Amino acid sequence: MTRIKTDILVLGSGIAGLTFSIKAAKQFPNRQILVLTKTVEGESNTRYAQGGVAAVWNEEQDTFEKHIADTLDAGDGLCKEDIVRIVIEEGPERVREIIDWGARFDKEKDSPEYDLAREGGHSEHRILHYKDLTGWEMQRTLMDEAASYPNIKVLEHYFALDLITQHHLGRMVIRVTPDIECYGCYALNKENGGIDTLLARVTILCTGGGGQVYKSTTNPVIATGDGVAMTYRAKGRVENMEFMQFHPTSLYNPAGENPSFLVSEAVRGFGGILKTAEGEEFMQHYDPRLSLAPRDIVARAIDSEMKKRGTDCMYLDCRHLDKEGFTAHFPTIYDKCLSVGIDPMKDLIPVVPACHYMCGGIMVDEHGRSSIHRLYAAGECSSTGLHGANRLASNSLLEAMVFAHRIFLDIRDKMEGWDFQEGIPDWNAEGTTDPKEMVLITQSIKELKDIMSYYVGIVRSNIRLKRALDRLFLLYQETEDLYKTTVVSPQLMELRNLITLAYLITRSASHRRESRGLHFTTDYPDHLPFVEFSVL
């Protein structure tokens, strides 16, 4: 066991974590910024983002008010309008910043102007992109920039287990007291099996989403809701967990694939049309915007058509599109389709909804501050109020950069007033033994994914949610018994975190007795006359 002190502790190395770290390193050249990542630095939800980053760029055709209106419309009455305005108005400057750091967004042919795409829910072309690998390009840019600062240290293969608060000092606090403080975290060094105590003046959670709670997800295997689960265990507030966004068009693979391959919404923005196996359009029955309707509407429409017809997928028709333009914009998607025997220029692309983005999360204010002092959150693990009940396409990368900057501004003048907490004990592993039944963990994860996919998916009901809660409670008891007697492993901790995440999603869904945005229940198909955030 090792004790490590760092001025700033950042959990996660995606766009939010690295954007913040770069700014902090530049501002505090004599302060150490320690970045933890579960695998390697480049593996994050960020690198899997295909579509792009939305920002008002062409001011002759687009305006802040249009982007704000589109975001509010997609959020279905639950966006915080002041937060929406902050992100939309501050966003272009953050995009210029990453361009200055080296991001290579696509430009129009033989022109210095950026090639702006349009995606579902957007009224204008405002998506900056790099082919269909925008997240990869932004991740590359941030890693290169971060490497130029000697006071940023990245620890790879470190798994954050729990936040350190007053509980570890023996001073009990009740849930949601304003006096909880974060002093760092315990983390498992996956290379030597030791559990280190990491002490920090301030901690920033940038741990990404939790799509692995479902069987089919576009999220990488590391997306297990760790930051949300740790915060909840530390008695911090989380909100709006019922709003899990399912991307309408992941590539259907009957053999199964984890993560599911994403067919970007930008393909529909480019002219792709959703159809049945018989080649008939169906979106006209659900929304006047047809295939460019917001994701929640499109996902439910595809789900409805699949159930109505008894089929495993619907289809995306790109056969009428220009091949040169399609392959230039979507080379990865084109190559992936060819690799599984589908030629997008000749064949319909089979698609199915897959869990894609967590719109709720750790409740934060306009500065990224959580309900726990000295603990901030940014990116997908946070709930800022931007997305409301449904995220507008390509707003997430923008939000991550804006809030990384705002957190940096908030702590800039506070660092001198924060010190390290003394008396923190090492991790207590007494009475635990090496696991003899790994099959219990792997089967519990499989069972958990089945529960969430069948009962807490795109369409819900009271009886489905009750059944899910009953099954989850049994899984929780079994897993906690295993946790008390077994040496900590990444698989066991991910199972604990996923069960916590599943509980929060299901419990939040059972509290919302209406259908709104991404939450649709057959028992309450209509909107309530008033709306409120769901806080746990």
Which residues are tagged catalytic? Answer: 295
Phi/psi region, residue 279 (left: phi>0; alpha: psi -120 to 50; beta: rest), is left
State the Cα–Cα distance between residues 396 and 80, nearest whole angstrom: 15
Closest CA to 318 of 293, 295, 337: 337
Per-residue tokens: 305: 């058509």
Closest CA to 394 of 7, 58, 56: 56
- As a 3-state breakdown, the chain gives helix, strand, coil percent values, each rounded to 5, of 40, 20, 45
Q: In what order do the strands lie in the sheet with 361-363?
A: 238-239, 361-363, 382-383
Q: Enumerate long-range contacts of 463-472, CB under 8 Å, 24 or more apart.
A: 465/506, 465/509, 465/510, 465/521, 466/510, 468/502, 468/506, 469/503, 469/506, 469/507, 469/510, 471/447, 472/448, 472/499, 472/502, 472/503, 472/506
State the Cα–Cα distance between residues 332 and 204, nearest whole angstrom: 33
State the Cα–Cα distance between residues 317 and 483, nearest whole angstrom: 49
State the Cα–Cα distance between residues 172 and 331, nearest whole angstrom: 55
